[in-house]
Amino acid sequence: MNKTGFKFLCRFSDIPDGGSKGFTLGEGPTAFELFITRKGGRVYAYENSCPHTGGPLDWTPNKFTDSDSGHILCATHAALFRVETGECLAGPCAGDWLRALRVDIEDGEIFLKM
């Protein structure tokens, strides 16, 4: 399917419930990193950048969520973020937010609003 103003990322079934997947759009210095995480029948997308350090949240590819708490985890300093909102709940950036991105699910496919 081709949706004007949207970029296909992956199929909904590619991400298990509680799982996540990272993406890099573009190349070189203009590359943009993001990730999506799934909770039940919904997916949430965020820029892959910690509000505290500006660095990526993951050390291991496609590992953005803490299996114990179910929250998004910054691997650099263990900050925890609420999946549904991107709000930092614990860590040095408590009270800050991840930059949310808009995604749509259509016919089992996940699209990023460009």
User: Does 1 fall in a domain?
Assistant: no
The angle at the Cα of 105, spanning 103 to 106, to the nearest 5 degrees, equals: 135
Residue 89's domain comprises: 6-113
Which of the residues in the chain have pLDDT under 50? Answer: none
- Amino acid 73: pLDDT: 94
- The number of beta carbons lying within 10 Å of the beta carbon of residue 112 is 20
- The 3-state secondary structure of the chain reads CCCCCEEEEEEHHHCCCCCEEEEEECCHHHCEEEEEEEECCEEEEEECCCCCCCCCCCCCCCCCECCCCCCEECCCCCCEECCCCCEEEECCCCCCECCEECEEEECCEEEEEC
- Amino acid 1: pLDDT: 53
User: Does 83 fall in a domain?
Assistant: yes
User: Does 63 fall in a domain?
Assistant: yes
Quote the pTM value.
0.92
In the chain, how many domains are there?
Answer: 1
User: Does 26 fall in a domain?
Assistant: yes
CATH number at residue 64: 2.102.10.10
Residue with tokens 């759009």: 25
User: Does 88 fall in a domain?
Assistant: yes
45-60 per-position pLDDT tens digit: 999 999 988 889 998 8
